[in-house]
Structures are given as C-alpha cells and as structure tokens.
Structure 1
Amino acid sequence: MDPNVVFLNSFLDVSEETFEKLVRISTFKKLEKGFNIAKSGEVPSKIYMLVSGMVRAYLSSETGKEFNKNFFMPFSFVGSLTALIKNRPSKLTYETLTACKVYEVSFEEITRLCKEDIHISNLYSKVLEHVFIKYEERQLEFISMDATERYLRLRKRISGIDDLIPQYHIASYLSITPVQLSRIRKKIDKN
C-alpha cells in the first residue's frame, strides 16, 4: 500500500476518492538542505507533507540567536500553521536540515476542499488534533523532565539524531547550551 495512504490512514480511514482529491492539489518536490519552506515575517500559503528528510522550526531573536521549536521527521505535516490559519506573517522559520521530499499543498485549496468534502474536513480536523497533542506533549516535557530525560526522549523519537544534525541544533531544541549537551552525552556514555 502507498505509504502516503498509510500515513493519512493513521489519522482517519481515507477512501481512494478522498486520496485522489488530495493528490490533485499536491505537488511533489525535492528540496535541498537549507531550503526555507516558510520564513519569519512572511505570510505563508503552503503546507507540506514530509515524506523523507528532516525539517526544523525555529525562532530568531533580535540578536540573531536561534531557538529550535520543533524537528519534523517523515511522515508529518510541516508548515507555519498559526500563520496559515490567521493569514499573518509567520513568527517561525521552517528550514530543511537535510535534503527532503515533500508534497506541497496550497492551504487555501485544503480549506476550500474542507468546505466541499466532509471526509477531507474530518481528516483536517484529525490532523489538527494530532498537532495539538504533539504540542501539549512537548510542553509537558519541559515542565516535567530534566534536560537528560528530554535528550533521551528525543533520541528515542529520532533515531540517530546525533549523526543527522549539529549538536547546537539539538541543544537549542532542549533549551540548553551545547556544553551542557556535551556533558549529558558524556554522562550517558559512562553509564
């Protein structure tokens, strides 16, 4: 079975007809490492289904310091959802950390289809629920786990992350310094 269908079916059973409607409004793209799919200060219009590679969402301070909010791995939906929904400039930048394969979809087309097709509307609703649950899980990690526990959970969620992206990105995501991350790694290696 098509892995894209399997992914969509993880939210809701998607009929062949519904899948075909989604395919018609999607464009398959190969993106190079370092490509910005949404930029801070710009109003986005697209959402992406990531099928290979890794993407980060980050916030830049006025001094240029970057704070990683999230990492996206296949299969997931990527885009500045708040900016898309509100039709306002994104506060975050979404950047490919590796070469990626994505399906690009116009957010306007998705919302139009939601008004026309209850199955697509239900799928959209389930995807939003999933995004909210992931957001809440991340918030709970910060208030209930120390940095070592958060790092171990990240390594479990993204196998081989230490080899995929630079240490400073991982440290930023964990809200610690690269030096603290290095100490955590040494401590884990000793055990």
Structure 2
Amino acid sequence: MNDSVIKNSLLPNNISEERFAELCKIGQLKNVSKNTNFISQGEVPNKLAYVLKGLFRYVYIHENGNEFTKNIISEKQFISSYSAMIQKTNSYFYIEALEDSQILEFSYTDWMQLRLGDSYWDVFLFKILEKAFCAKEKRERELLMLDAKTRYLNFLEDFPDLNHRIPQHIIASYLGIQPESLSRILKKHKT
C-alpha cells in the first residue's frame, strides 16, 4: 500500500495513521470504472472496501427496470453489502460506481482475521455501524414524513458537494420521485 494514501488525509474519521496502516496491509488498491458494479444484485459478496476517491450508489433495480437509489457513498466511507456478506446470502442491491473511483478492497476473511486479532476493530466497526444506522433512520423518516421539495433541500444540505457530480435522474431516484418531479422542484427552487 502506498504511504501517500495513509498520509494524504484519506483516513477514516477517528482512526490513527498507525491503525489505518494495519487496515491497508490487508487491503488491495483497486480502480473501479464509472458504471461498473463493485457488488451486483444476486451476488453473494465476500468483500468490502474503503472509498479513497470517487462516488458510489447502492441501487435496487426492479425487474421492470425501475431504479431505487438506497444510498450514496463518497470518499472516506466504506462500501459493502454487509448483511448479505455476513449471512452468506445474495445481495439485494448493486453497488455501482458513479465516477471513476479508487478503493481499498478487503476480503471478508482478512477483515474477520483482523477483527479476531484485535478488539480495537470491533469498536471501529461498531462506530461505523452506528453512523450507518443513524443515517438509515434519518433517511427512512424523511421518505415517510417529508414532501419531495423538503427531501431535495435536505439532500443539498447532506451532500453539498455532490449535486453537480450526480445525474438528476439518480438524485430523483434517491429522493423517491420521478425525474420530471425533480425538474419541477428545481425550476421552483431557482426562482
């Protein structure tokens, strides 16, 4: 692993350079091309990754072709179909690169060996899962309780740098609305 990855502020929050170096030892630096799936729906995943550069989305694709964007993941975050990986079941969703991206990929086996060797990594995982749970709960509440315009404004607040990196149809999918509805919101929002 390149030391510049460790030193150039791409570290996950709340982790020292030394601990990140431990994580890097079990990882492989990989490039993922735009529109490529890191994990595919129906695949039994055996890997997870840390996003060094780029952008991903978790997306469900219905048999009729409709897309539902579950989450958007940018730099300094982990990507995984974690529940499918730990249960050894098929992933229900795709993890798609929205940009040319660079990741640090780990096999689930190596990750488990790291965790079993040092309880620090259990605490680290717990913090990541807590953060993910809080984000999931917020997203569910917004989808159930807020109108589309408010969800869009919250999206801009939650992802201030992503609005111009993500196509409008994907933003609409994330908001749970049709692209035409997002266009109307954008027209009203500009005035």
Give me the TM-score of the superposition, normalised by structure 1.
0.90
Report the Cα offset of residue 84 of structure 1.
1.1
Measured in 1, the distance between the counterparts of 2:180 and 2:10 equals 39
155-164 or 104-113, which deviates more: 155-164
**Distance across 1 between alignment mates of 2:17 and 2:165:** 35
Aligned residue in 2 for 1:146: 147
Do residues 3 (structure 1) and 9 (structure 2) align? yes
Task: Work out the percentage of aligned pairs sharing the same amino acid.
Answer: 32
Confirm or deny: 8 A CA contact 2:143 2:176 kept in the other structure: no
Structure 1 Cα separation of the partners of residues 163 and 20 of structure 2 = 35
Residues 21 and 160 of structure 1, relative CA distance in 2, 3 Å threshold: closer
Structure 2 length normalisation: TM-score? Answer: 0.90
Helix, strand or coil at the partner of 1:164: coil
Q: For residue 104 of structure 1, what is the aligned residue in structure 2? A: 105
SS at 1:169 equivalent: helix
Matches within 5 A, 1:1-191: 1-5=7-11, 7-9=12-14, 13-14=15-16, 16=18, 18-190=19-191
Task: Give the secondary structure class of the aligned counterpart of 2:21.
Answer: helix
Cα deviation, 1:113-144, whole Å, max 9, x if unaligned, reads 21110111211121111111111111121233
Q: Give the distance between the partners of 2:110 and 2:135, measured in 1 at CA.
A: 25
Pair 172,119 (structure 1): closer, same or farther in 2 beyond 3 Å: same
Point out the more displaced range, 156-165 or 127-136.
Answer: 156-165
Q: Deviations over 1:16-56 (max 9, x none)?
A: 2x333211101111211011000000111111111211101
Secondary structure of residue in 2 paired with 1:3: coil
160-169 or 134-143: bigger deviation? 160-169
CA contact (8 A) 1:29 1:103 kept: yes
Measure the CA separation in 1 of the matches of 2:163 and 2:117.
Answer: 44
RMSD, aligned CA: 1.6
1:14–1:64 CA distance, 2 compared to 1 (3 A): same
Alpha-carbon separation, structure 1, partners of 2:22 and 2:156: 36
